[in-house]
Amino acid sequence: MLYLIGLGLSYKSDITVRGLEAVKQCSRVYLEHYTSILMAASQEELEQFYGKTVILADRELVESGSDEILRDADREDVAFLVVGDPFGATTHTDLVLRAKKAGIAVETIHNASVMNAVGACGLQLYNFGQTISMVFFTDSWKPDSWYDKIWENRKIGLHTLVLLDIKVKEQSIENMARGRLIYEPPRYMSISQCCEQLLEIEEKRHDQAYTPDTPAVAISRLGSASQTFKSGTIRELAEYDCGEPLHSLVILGRQCHELELEYLLEFAEDREKFRTDVSKDQQFFKPAPWVPPQQDADED
């Protein structure tokens, strides 16, 4: 059996009871270690808690070495641990498909992830649209395909969850080209960098999917003891020091329910300004008033 087990957001004890029972019976335990990190637990702490050796699974192992993860899983139990929920990344769907193709039984044990815990900021989950990922820009690579998804969400009034890039065990382009297995130090995108990149692409596109004055909420260390939220415009959050990782951002949709707004005001430095910013922003993509069709005079 291959077990896909969600670990939750922060602590070693966030794993479910059923998940922990499954881990303890597995002969090998892998921890996916590139789409997210468990903020309040180290590999050593997890090993002590589980009573098992934990093998870190980087992107290369998961995407190119899945045969090693699935080895003998038709005869013994293997655990694949994922921070958050197992299906928070499409890579893990691919692993399930490979297991099924090999005739290996798969069981998924779910847990909390940013996709549902984001509701802690006060925005209602059913008012969210497409989620996007913001990657680190380079001088020669500044992808902006996510821009159209924000535009589509905002057009129909929905909020956009922005997941911020992390770089763990990544090689520089030079080292990769030279075949040198030298890895860069871990990097975690901040709220300010994300907002700066948002503003850079808006300046380039000029389609006003959002503006510097569009309201947003910064989310830091969701699910941990130091969890914080900050409401402000994209321009204001570009100057925000969000502290230690991990971070995410929500760009408000055109429609913001009064209860959502009241909750977000708790995280705003200037409550009246933020209320005004939200009110002004709701004019973007606002549908034109309905006008009844004119009848021809001879039909009267």
Going by the annotation, the residues of the binding site for S-adenosyl-L-methionine are: 9, 85, 88, 113-114, 164, 222, 247
Cβ 249 vs Cβ 225: under 8 Å: no
Closest of 146, 110, 134, 123 to residue 16, by C-alpha? 110
Q: Which residues contact 141 (CB under 8 A, 6 or more apart)?
A: none
DSSP structure class, residue 297: G
If you write DSSP's letter for every residue of 47-83 in order, what string do you get? HHHHTS-EEEE-HHHHHH-HHHHHTTTTTS-EEEEES
**Residue 155: how many CB atoms within 10 A of its CB?**
15
- Partnered with residue 266 across adjacent β-strands are none
CA 153 to CA 213: how far, in whole Å?
A: 17
Task: Tell me the pairing of strands 247-251 and 160-164.
Answer: antiparallel
Annotated binding site: 9, 85, 88, 113-114, 164, 222, 247
Closest of 129, 124, 152, 131 to residue 261, by C-alpha? 124
Residue type, 8: G
